[in-house]
């Protein structure tokens, strides 16, 4: 059980860290928009992610998707 927990932690830690790069809920909303689940719009007083942060988040999301994809899928 510990090895499974450690494996899940290793898989999810970069994703969790990326979702807290800036004030919530902006990174989460950006991640959902990247997946096509919502629009990337945020209301005041929130602001969209900085371009560099958005690129870092998207790269992490894409890496996570590749790492968690089923083998042969």
pLDDT at res. 2: 76
Q: Would you call 14 exposed, middle or buried from its count of C-beta atoms within 10 A (0-12, 13-18, 19+)?
A: middle
Over the chain (73 residues), what is each successive 10-residue block's mean pLDDT? 86 93 91 94 92 96 87 61
User: Against a cut of 0.85, is the pTM above it?
Assistant: no
pLDDT at res. 73: 52
pLDDT at res. 72: 64
CA distances from 69 to 9, 11, 21, 73 (A): 16, 12, 24, 7
pLDDT at res. 57: 96
pLDDT at res. 56: 96
- Joined together, the tokens standing for residue 15 give 């994703």
Residues 20-45: b if buried by 16+ CB within 10 A, e if exposed: ebbeeebbebbbeebeeeeeeebeee
């Amino acid at each position: 059980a510990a090895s499974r927990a450690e494996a899940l932690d290793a898989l999810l830690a970069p994703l969790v860290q990326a979702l807290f790069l800036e004030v919530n809920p902006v990174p989460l909303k950006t991640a959902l928009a990247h997946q096509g689940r919502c629009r990337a719009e945020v209301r005041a007083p929130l602001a969209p992610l900085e371009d560099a942060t958005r690129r870092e988040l998207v790269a992490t999301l894409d890496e996570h998707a590749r790492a968690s994809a089923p083998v042969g899928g």
